[in-house]
Structure 1
Amino acid sequence: MTNDAPRVSPPLSPAQQASLTRALSGSDDVTVFVDGTAHRLEAGAGEAVLDLLLRLSRGDAVSVASISELLTTSQAADLAGISNTFLRNLTDRGELAVQYRGSHRRIRREDIMAWLAAQKTRKEEPGS
């Protein structure tokens, strides 16, 4: 089972809040520096980063979590062209990664697509 835990940041100090508020005033350009290299973010990612920075500048604590497209077992089985029972058996055996939301299984679209690609490759191998 894969599950990325949210990361929580405490509020900034008042001095850092004021500095960040001044920097963000009237700006919608988001350029991130990673190891000294500038990366200009596209609109959607830039808006998310600006929102995060604005919340920090207000003194809010912030929680960040990643989201991947999660499918129900029915949706994943339909996508793969297999039965729900066969899909559940794959997850039970650990052949397909699964996440739980309460007692409900969720499967990332990218995981089911990778499984399908592996099945296709296996069928194309000589002697299969």
Structure 2
Amino acid sequence: MALIAPRVTAGLPADDARNLARSLQDSDDITVFVDGTVHRLPDQARDAVVDLLARLSRGETVTVSSVEEMLTTSQAAELAGISHTYLRNMTDRGEIPVEYRGTHRRIRQAAIIAWLETQKRKQAEATIEDDSRDGPGNDAPGG
């Protein structure tokens, strides 16, 4: 796993912290507004937000970071549905970015997901091209 740059937020001023603490008391309903649209948070996200808000309500400085999943080549190949050897060859050619931990290759899960999306898009484009090449009325062989 790779740590993505954290963001540090200073503790809230005392009055703001007290007001937030009062609001959080005995509450488990966290609703957020994004561009004026109401979103009810799923349990896992709600728990993370409540924890963050509770820490801020105590006047604590908070650091938020995320961890990106790093995969072995075997895990990445399984996720992509390709052979381990084919994946290693693609990393050698630079088609999929790879990081080394000593002599071991590690691949970001996001890189595999992006590669899969590219493959889907290419396949869809090829299908559209094949359909347009066939043209109307060319469904049956021999005319």
For the criterion TM > 0.5, the same-fold answer is yes
> Aligned ranges for residues 23-62 of structure 1 at < 5 Å?
23-62=23-62
> Is structure 2 residue 84 aligned with structure 1 residue 82?
yes
> Is structure 2 residue 75 aligned with structure 1 residue 72?
no
Question: 1: CA distance between counterparts of 2:47 and 2:120?
Answer: 39
CA RMSD of aligned residues (A): 3.2
Unaligned runs of 5+ in 2: 131-143
> Aligned ranges for residues 79-118 of structure 1 at < 5 Å?
79=79, 80-83=82-85, 85-90=88-93, 93=94, 95-98=95-98, 105-118=105-118
Question: 2: CA distance between counterparts of 1:102 and 1:5?
Answer: 22
Distance change (3 Å), C-alpha of 1:103 and 1:9 = farther
Which of the two has higher C-alpha Rg?
Answer: 2
Q: Deviation of residue 113 (structure 1)?
A: 3.5
| 8 Å Cα contact 1:73/1:87 also seen in 2 | no
Question: 1: CA distance between counterparts of 2:37 and 2:74?
Answer: 44
Q: Deviation of residue 47 (structure 1)?
A: 0.6
Q: TM-score, normalised by structure 1?
A: 0.72
Decide which moves more: 26-35 or 103-112: 103-112
Aligned residues: 123
Unaligned runs of 5+ in 1: none
Paired-residue identity, %: 49
| 8 Å Cα contact 2:7/2:65 also seen in 1 | yes
Distance change (3 Å), C-alpha of 1:69 and 1:3 = closer
One-letter code of the match for 2:83? G
Q: TM-score, normalised by structure 2?
A: 0.66
Counterpart secondary structure, 1:38? strand
